Amino acid sequence: MSKGTLFDKVWDLHTVGILPSGQTQLLIGLHLIHEVTSPQAFAMLRERGLKVLFPERTVATVDHIVPTENQARPFADRLAEEMIQALEQNCQEYGIRFYNVGSGNQGIVHVIAPEQGWTQPGMTVACGDSHTSTHGAFGAIAFGIGTSQVRDVLASQTLALSKLKVRKIEVNGRLRPGVYAKDVILHIIRTLGVKGGVGYAYEFGGTTFDAMSMEERMTVCNMAIEGGARCGYVNPDVVTFEYLQGRDLAPKGADWDKAVAWWTSLSSDADAVYDDVVTFDAANISPTVTWGITPGQGIAVDEVVPFADALDAAERPIAEEAYRYMDLTPGSLLRGTKVDVCFIGSCTNGRLSDLREAAKFAKGRQVAAGVKAFVVPGSEQVKQQAEAEGLHKVFEEAGFEWREPGCSMCLAMNPDKLQGRQLSASSSNRNFKGRQGSANGRTLLMSPAMVVAAAVTGEVSDVRDLL
Ligand code: SF4
């Protein structure tokens, strides 16, 4: 059993009690809600005549269903309009802060909470979205939850959870040019598998993570869930504190110094005991692309699609399914495969640093003929900052569309959808069948820089060739 880790400390500090089931009743410090998983939860509260216990610890935004081309109200999609209206009404009725479209602070839930300073080290965070693990980048313990748990947190500010084991994932060394945080997490998941983290919290440590910005750490923690881990985190350090200082919700004045001392004390101890430790060398990580239908089916861009008999026996059936669905031949190179759509955005890679990096490669180049390429900032703040730097001009001049903030084609619960068998180069986090809005559409996950490389060449390409 792990001991002396940040996970243990935060868990113990938030334990309200042990339930008859043996689970822990855990206090949730920050509850983030959005339009998709909250309406039924509010309906259940009403049925039972319950209130939201801590509205001041509940924050709402709208992200999944918002259109990214025209956000004028009412939305053209009647269902989307009904969903945003329901959230508006629920937030008003229960006194919850709501970052609505046009507020200047709307955006993807996992982008806006960190950028406003809601997410802080040592917190427990919950949200009805799988990629809540993102907030672990701050040294928070953050859980994606289902609708009935959203109800539980609204009503009681607590969750019933079983304690996790802790695996330390240590990556050391400098990333090579053209290799990004996205490649690191895709490499980890391809190595440990999409179920490798089941029952674990992943602690990301080592010199590679030490050297990452907060936005890069968020990219890594965002996809911890894709490796099966219930949550992922990085111990808070000077990078964390520099990011947080001055943000709207961050402590100020003398409270800031106290907070930094407290946050520092929560980091895993030097002699912490882990249930498991896995080590990687950053020099062995290449620009990585998924070839299949799970985020674990990834290869370095210069590798061939693996043969089924080279994989673990348990992996072979899903590999066979992936060859058929993706229309790929084992032993062939993914590089050179024609792409139809290139998408930069999502809570994995829709932050300012992602757009800056992508723009470096887009500058002075042109999107290939026949390719639809678009950039969707993760939040209104990201959009505003990117425009202040002129990034939108760089993208537009290169032939990318520049859109309004939202989840867009990550999940396609809005007008941004693949058509038919289209193949998408995407900076998002899931390549499941039909994930991007077409029942037989296909998705290749990669870093934003690699998406630009695909967009300007019209095919899966190695971004290092553009350096
Ligand atoms: S961008 Fe994708 S993963 Fe992130 S919150 Fe939106 S739909 Fe979920």
Question: pLDDT, tens digit, for every residue of 136-195?
Answer: 999 999 999 999 999 999 999 999 999 999 999 999 999 999 999 999 999 999 999 999
Q: What pLDDT score does 100 carry?
A: 98
Which residues are 298's β-sheet partners? 290
Dist. CA 249–CA 241, nearest whole Å: 13
Closest atom, ligand 1, to C-alpha of 345: 1
Q: What pLDDT score does 316 carry?
A: 97
Tens digit of each residue's pLDDT (9 = 90 or more) over 424-462: 999 999 999 999 999 999 999 999 999 999 999 999 999
Tell me the best of 135, 347, 404, 416 to mutate to test the pocket of ligand 1, counting ligand atoms within 8 Å of each CB and taking the most.
Answer: 347
Element (H, E) at 266: helix 254-266
Query: How many A from CA of 431 to the centre of ligand 1?
Result: 13
Looking at residues 264-273, what average pLDDT do you find? Answer: 98
Query: How many A from CA of 4 to the centre of ligand 1?
Result: 32
Largest CA distance in the chain: 63
Dist. CA 378–CA 386, nearest whole Å: 11
Dist. CA 38–CA 85, nearest whole Å: 12
Of all protein residues, the one whose alpha carbon is nearest to atom 3 of ligand 1 is 131
Alpha helices in 268-326 (DSSP H): 316-326
Query: How many A from CA of 152 to the centre of ligand 1?
Result: 22
Tens digit of each residue's pLDDT (9 = 90 or more) over 21-36: 999 999 999 999 999 9
Tell me the best of 131, 223, 348, 403 to mutate to test the pocket of ligand 1, counting ligand atoms within 8 Å of each CB and taking the most.
Answer: 131
Dist. CA 382–CA 376, nearest whole Å: 10
| pLDDT band of 402, cuts 50, 70, 90 | very high
Q: What pLDDT score does 1 carry?
A: 84
- The whole-chain average pLDDT of the chain stands at 98
Q: Is 52 in the pocket of ligand 1 (CB under 6 A)?
A: no
